[in-house]
A and B are shown apart, each in its own frame.
Chain A
Amino acid sequence: MEQTAPDDDRLVAESLQGSQIAFQLLVERYQDRIFRLIRGYVREPAEIEDLAQETFLKTYKRLESFQHQSSFYTWIYRIAINTVLDHIKRRGRSPVQAVEDLEVLPVNPGQRLPAPAANLEREEISAITQSVLEEIPEIFRTVLILREFEELAYQDIADMLGISIGTVESRLFRARARFKEKLLQKHPEFGAEL
């Protein structure tokens, strides 16, 4: 008979009773996703590992406060995001302490942004994306990472960040506008005249 994997709630309950194996299973279940999420913010593998480690240790420490109102992965993502953003702020690499724009900035009105040229390798596009993301305020970067890299639904993003779906939508709209503006600023060669 096929054995089903224990669900997150059960593993959380067993971890709270001191089961190391249960917590190890939780870490194994989420480690790839947490590493990938952190990779959206920082590049160095050693730095990613340290931050992932810190995320899981904080998760264990706070297990008792997990309310089961959201899914475990939403909760652990939130811990990971806060851990990474704290780290970036301490390092003084946070681009701008963003206030959400009341109005979307006009994005180089005379320029369009076509899709990446076919001769650009995926790694090249990714490096450009990363360098642009590093220069936009963290509230915008976070929604872009969660939506575009993690492909999360608006509802999940809203749960993770503790905001409404409407705010997710408007923040994403502004974030994309910022991204496009910054990309065209840094790489005017990718733009096309209207």
Chain B
Amino acid sequence: MECHDARSLIQSYLDGELSQAQAAPLRTHLLDCQPCRAGAQDEKNLKRWFAAPAATAVPEGFAARVARAAVQGESLPRRGTLTPLAGGAAAGATGAVAVERREASLLRFVLACTAAAALLLFTLALGIRTLSLPQTNQLAADDRAEVQLERTLEDLDQLNRTEAAAGAQKRP
């Protein structure tokens, strides 16, 4: 193995990403090549600077609170560290799940109501049409309108007569 190839593999080797077949020739090379060995040692030294920070304890009941908020759309108390936008987004995330589900069920309800209303209207229209059809096969006009008109004309005549009589009495 050449130094150039060895150098390109050192990082993956130290990260445990090489197979046995890839690692074996590199190990042999490192035993023989002091500069590459020094390079590998530098990489190892660097890796020792990556000390993970101490773990942050998960607060008691965190999972239950979050699951309840997510599933039931409840709002969660915030620790006030997020920017207003983030807080809004997070609260929105909580509310949005519930809102979306509520909207979905509301939409289903509205669609069902619309379908029922359409069916009712159709039935009513059918009923009205059936009732408005002649009940017999005789063509007979409805005379109620005529009676109404005659009565109105009589009432007007009566009014005219009364007005004329009243006018005659006033004249000297």
Contacts and interface: CB of A to CB of B under 8 A. Distances in A.
B59 A176 contact: no
Q: How large is the interface on B (under 10, 10 to 19, 20 to 34, 35 or more residues)?
A: 35 or more
Nearest to B10: A173
A46 B57 CA distance: 11
Contact of A148 (B50, B66, B72): B50
Contacts of A123: 54
Contacts, number: 150
A31 B62 contact: yes
| Chain A interface SS verdict (over half) | helix
Contacts of B23: none
Interface in A34-71: 35-36, 39-40, 43-54, 56-58, 60-61
A180 interface: yes
A183 interface: yes
Interface stretch (A2-10, A18-26, A94-102): A18-26
A110 interface: no
B46 interface: yes
Interface in B72-94: 72, 76, 78-83, 85-86, 89-90, 93-94
Interface string A106-149: 00000011111000001101101110000000000000100111
Interface of B: 11-12, 15, 17, 42-59, 62-64, 66-72, 76, 78-83, 85-86, 89-90, 93-94, 96-97
